[in-house]
Amino acid sequence: MRRRLRLRRDASLTLLLSAALGLLLYAQHDGEAPTTSTPQARRREAQRPTPGPRAFQVLDSGAAPPAYEGDTPPSPTPTGSFDFRRYLRAKDQRRFSLLINQPHKCRGDGAPGGQPDLLIAVKSVAADFERRQAVRQTWGAEGRVQGALVRRVFLLGVPRSADPEGEGTQTHWRALLHAESHAYSDILLWAFDDTFFNLTLKEIHFLAWASAFCPNVRFVFKGDADVFVHVGNLLEFLASRDPAQDLLAGDVIVQARPIRARDSKYYIPEAVYGLPAYPAYAGGGGFVLSGATLRRLASACAQVELFPIDDVFLGMCLQRLRLTPEPHPAFRTFGISQPSAAPHLSTFDPCFYRELVVVHGLSAADIWLMWRLLHGSHGPVCAHRQPVAAGPFQWGS
């Protein structure tokens, strides 16, 4: 009888500990989503399979342009205004050690030429293994695609610890990431905290890494882990482009103005950025650049003062080079809007995705499903391909 009671007590304790561990992992996963940001009102909609309307709205002529708001779903940092005191103290610290490297990533597959035609670099966080797996086994798979050699890396910083001491959690995640790196050879881990406002550090460290370890790469796609990429369409677009010429193409945003409201998460005081509008930039959800531009950007960004919004920072680096990002209508970093003339249509439809290059704001399950729908044995039953409406998005147009 005593033995039975002891076994029941042990089983109950095990169940309680398992539940507590599950809640801890869920809280870390929820608090460290691998994307940049969106207004709080749209945060609940970020998990839906059909993203809502594009956040930037066209204004009446003569009206002030709307303020910058993030272009991707949930942030890996808590809601709240930016700690500028801490930022100003550490803003010149821009060199962090590489804890996990992939030095042989761009040595090719034994074929002549060696270097990849397309390097895919995906921003991620330690807790989001599920999204990394979805990318690995769908659009981010390595190998030959339409004759082009494709390689992949994930860009990570050190996860912030959930407990005050942090030693156990840090050791736990470090061991998992080393095991994942050993299995897939695609993890790049740097020694800075993986937060939304450190995505700029992720940007400059990746540019430096790619310049050093992939010096002859032809093109680079860089984006978030919650995007769906039609790699075939991307390669078709790049087929006529010269990797020795400058190129940075994506969903280009112009005339976005800084937010001056102190209670906003995106608050940028005039002392940090005094101009009325940001330079043109490509939405951070996904863009493509040539090898020539990558190497020039690595040099230019090393000379530009760090800015806490990564896609705007990259626009500043382009401005220093006097380069203008190229708008491409098939890069949808705000998702697919519901057609006003056909509200009955579902935007989560493979016939939409078949025409595009990048669609942002998908769950891991959505990425799997869309990949299967597009690449199944029969493929989707769609009408003939239609050209996507061209032209960049512009404030106040």
3-class DSSP state of 224: strand
In this prediction, residues 280-290 reach a mean pLDDT of: 95
Q: Is residue 89 part of a domain?
A: no
pLDDT digits (tens, 9 = 90+) for 201-225: 999 999 999 999 999 999 999 999 9
In this prediction, residues 237-244 reach a mean pLDDT of: 97
Is residue 327 very low, low, confident or very high in pLDDT (cuts 50, 70, 90)?
very high
More confident residue, 35 or 26: 26
In this prediction, residues 309-326 reach a mean pLDDT of: 95
How many domains does the structure of the chain reveal?
Answer: 1
Q: Which among 366, 197, 178, 346 has a CA at the least distance from the CA of 268?
A: 197
pLDDT higher than threshold 70 for residue 295: yes
Q: Is residue 104 part of a domain?
A: yes
Q: Is residue 235 part of a domain?
A: yes
CA dist 98 and 191 (Å) reads 6
Residue 59 structure tokens: 């204004």
Model confidence, pTM: 0.74
| Residue reference for tokens 């949808």 | 332
Q: Is residue 36 part of a domain?
A: no
pLDDT digits (tens, 9 = 90+) for 346-366: 678 888 888 899 999 899 999
Q: Is residue 225 part of a domain?
A: yes
Q: Is residue 394 part of a domain?
A: no
Q: H/E/C letters for each residue in 101-169?
A: CCCCCCCCCCCCCCCCCEEEEEECCCCCHHHHHHHHCCCCCCEEECCEEEEEEEEEEECCCCCCCCHHH
Q: Is residue 288 part of a domain?
A: yes
pLDDT higher than threshold 90 for residue 32: no
In this prediction, residues 334-356 reach a mean pLDDT of: 75
pLDDT digits (tens, 9 = 90+) for 359-387: 998 999 999 999 999 987 776 777 555 55
Q: Is residue 304 part of a domain?
A: yes
pLDDT digits (tens, 9 = 90+) for 102-140: 999 998 655 445 689 999 999 999 999 999 999 999 999
Question: What does the mean pLDDT of the chain come to?
Answer: 77
Domain range for 226 is 94-161+169-336+347-375
**What is the predicted pLDDT for the residue at 93?**
75
Supply the CATH number for residue 315's domain: 3.90.550.50
**What is the predicted pLDDT for the residue at 351?**
84
Element (H, E) at 286: strand 281-290
